[in-house]
Structure 1
């Protein structure tokens, strides 16, 4: 069996030596044995475990405990409990597919809402909107602060929501429930304002080049599809590791 020092592992995996030590500290790889001079000695199993972890963390899906689940899987594999790791990965794969279904379903709901013309001309206060949509007052404030909607005010300063505002809020709520980011939703709403025939799914999943920080939820469906592909790769890797180690 080949043995490797910290710097050699770092070079093979393409990471910094400090990251190798961090993974060991966090239990994402087994503890390395040490030589008499104190140098860590890593094995082929450590290399394969690192590769597994790198695939697992390439797309970090945070919602509904998925990130916690994938960390638990990596730690189970590090402890050579490959059966548990395989079970966790298969559960993760099912959940990722379910999240994709929710994301796609939200887009269909949005399409229906966009082409649904409000008939009434009613006015609502924020508290009434919160109760009607079952959305917290803080969420409504947050959406407004982030530019997702602009609410008119009466002379006394109170916000007044129109039926058009309600429709927009339903769109935002549907997408947030499916874990789309505020940035992705704002991008879509702005695009639809200038181009009502825009492809909603494409806009939601295509961050602009000038966006400084892009998260998984800024390109949700694409990220979930990649997470699904990676989960299948991890299952194959775990099966190979179980047979080899």
Structure 2
């Protein structure tokens, strides 16, 4: 039997944090003594040993969904949440691969036109030899984010918007899908340009690798917890 403080010390937590986890349903409810004190078992130790690594690999939301599903014996929902997180990790890897393969294209993209004067959609379409309808399609896909002129309400493209349109055009000619191009341009905007983005690729890869490894650890601890739950129940079933 364990007290809240015992679980807390074992995992570097406060006793209140352990009680909060019980309240949130990510570890099983504790038995209470006649005087109202919580009493935890090895099952609670196993639950906490699974939940904390799951948080590191999958985040609080998914870890909570998994542990609450396990507690109500809904393993299908628990595994579905784990699977969905791995699908998202694979999508993130595909996006990184797209950005990495496009890095050379981005570095060789032509510069935006000089000056700060925004251009109308027709001028940008002419510069790229595409139709205005194509630019609007790219906008709907999240590739371009032009603003509206406050007087005419027509789309206008800043030098950065024109740069994004040039990059999108190059990537489109390279066979990239619109959703991949949108992801690339989003990364370019967040990084502050193509060169900072290229410099950040190694860090991005490291973060994905760390997340994948943390997921493996969380999954292993979850498997240990599921086995513990089966061991705890086995004598009762045999009786």
Same fold (TM over 0.5): yes
Equivalent positions of 1:140-219 (< 5 A) are 140=145, 160-162=157-159, 163-164=162-163, 166-167=165-166, 177=183, 185-186=191-192, 189=194, 191=196, 199-202=199-202, 205=203, 219=204
3-state SS of the aligned residue for 1:52?
Answer: helix
Between the aligned partners of 1:100 and 1:240, the Cα distance in structure 2 is 28
Give the greater-gyration-radius structure (CA): 2
Contact 1:59 1:223 in 2 (8 A): no
Equivalent positions of 1:1-245 (< 5 A) are 3-59=1-57, 68-82=61-75, 84-117=77-110, 124-125=119-120, 131=136, 133-134=138-139, 140=145, 160-162=157-159, 163-164=162-163, 166-167=165-166, 177=183, 185-186=191-192, 189=194, 191=196, 199-202=199-202, 205=203, 219=204, 221-245=205-229
CA-based RMSD of the aligned residues comes to 4.2
3-state SS of the aligned residue for 2:36?
Answer: coil
3-state SS of the aligned residue for 1:58?
Answer: helix
1:71 deviates by 2.8
1:108 deviates by 2.1
| Larger RCO (alpha carbons 8 Å, 6+ apart) | 2
Please list every run of at least 4 consecutive aligned residues from structure 1 whose deviation after the TM superposition is greater than 4 angstroms: 80-84, 118-123, 126-130, 168-171, 173-176, 178-184
1:12 deviates by 0.7
Structure 1 residues 191 and 232, CA, compared in 2 at 3 Å: closer, same or farther?
closer
Q: Gaps (5+ residues) in structure 2?
A: 123-131, 148-154, 172-178, 230-239
Alignment TM-score, normalising by the size of structure 2: 0.63
Q: Gaps (5+ residues) in structure 1?
A: 62-66, 145-157, 193-197, 206-218
Between the aligned partners of 2:194 and 2:106, the Cα distance in structure 1 is 13
Between the aligned partners of 1:176 and 1:55, the Cα distance in structure 2 is 33
Judge which range, 235-244 or 42-51, deviates more: 235-244
Contact 1:85 1:238 in 2 (8 A): no
Between the aligned partners of 2:213 and 2:106, the Cα distance in structure 1 is 32
Between the aligned partners of 2:97 and 2:196, the Cα distance in structure 1 is 19
